[in-house]
Amino acid sequence: MYEWIWQKHAHSFEEMSNLSKDLRQKLSEAFILPALTIDTTQFSSDGTIKNRFKTFDGHKIEGVLIPTEERKTACVSSQIGCSLSCKFCATGYMDRKRNLDYDEIYDQVVLINKQSEEVHQKKLTNIVFMGMGEPLMNYTNVLKAIERISAEDGLGMSQRRITVSTAGVAKQIKKLGEDKVRFKLALSLHAANDVKRNEIMPINEANNIRSLVEALNYFYKQTGNEITFEYILFKNFNDSLKDAEELIKLYRQVPADLINIIEYNPIDNFRFTKPDDEGFTNFMGHLEKNRVNVRLRHSRGKDIDAACGQLANKNKE
């Protein structure tokens, strides 16, 4: 049964064909397998695929397959809704219903991997915890899911190919270091000073930039794992050369490998817009001139609300 559930990914006892029919019948009557199912699927013009999954108790979450020539990446959720209320994120306007159990997170990866094999004839190469919810506020289940994903009797994927993204929970970042995790860490930064970060990310009031710098340095000292800054560029808010200078200073305080500059994807209720091409060029050029390793991360799946910050169960029926 263990093999059927974790390696063959059976979603019912009936599928366990090497068990007797009588035993399968008795198991079905006495137990349930609370497996995730795909509720709806949407296909973007750029090849991105968004799935709305349904949990055994009727909740809905979203996960995305992001294909490129080199990579097939699953973007998975860790909570049903979110409690952090980041102003630029559609999930932040939803109530947090509950944490996802580790098997529900695992099921997302299994189903997206199956999708990748069917559509692209290739298995997943990478997993990012950048979907709905704050992974470090569901710490135990996220780590247990990653353990199952990387286990030989699970999916057998290297933890070096997994990135957990956090809005910045300093205490839990330190705990990751203490637990000597092997996956990569991404900090959703989006502003390099506390005043601006407080405005768009309320979590910063209890986890200010100074505490995050300390936590990230501790994490790196304990693990040596790759750290990335994620920085959405908002027009006339965090895109000036002064903002770039503040970001450079912060970058030099942390052993970060990379700053990902991200295009803002519009959502309802948020007043900001993204800069024009010149704004991106000037901002990134200033970082590069100061020897910052920076990359522009283009949005994928905008036409189906599957891009960064857009997940909010808005799939069409």
- Dihedral angle sign, alpha carbons of residues 249, 160, 11, 116: positive
Q: Please name the residues in contact with 147: beta carbons below 8 A apart, sequence gap of 6 or more.
A: 154
Q: Please name the residues in contact with 238: beta carbons below 8 A apart, sequence gap of 6 or more.
A: 190, 191, 192, 196, 231, 232
Place of tokens 């990310």: 201
Of the candidates 60, 20, 65, which has an alpha carbon nearest to the alpha carbon of residue 39?
60
Place of tokens 């090497």: 18
Based on the residue annotation, tell me whether 308 is a catalytic residue of this protein.
yes
Q: Retrieve residue 288's tokens.
A: 């590069």
Query: What distance in Å separates the CA atoms of residue 206 and residue 84, rounded to the nearest whole number?
Result: 11
From the list 75, 86, 89, 308, the catalytic residue is 308
From the list 62, 104, 134, 230, the catalytic residue is 62
Query: What distance in Å separates the CA atoms of residue 8 and residue 139, rounded to the nearest whole number?
Result: 26
Based on the residue annotation, tell me whether 288 is a catalytic residue of this protein.
no
Task: Enumerate the active-site residues.
Answer: 62, 308
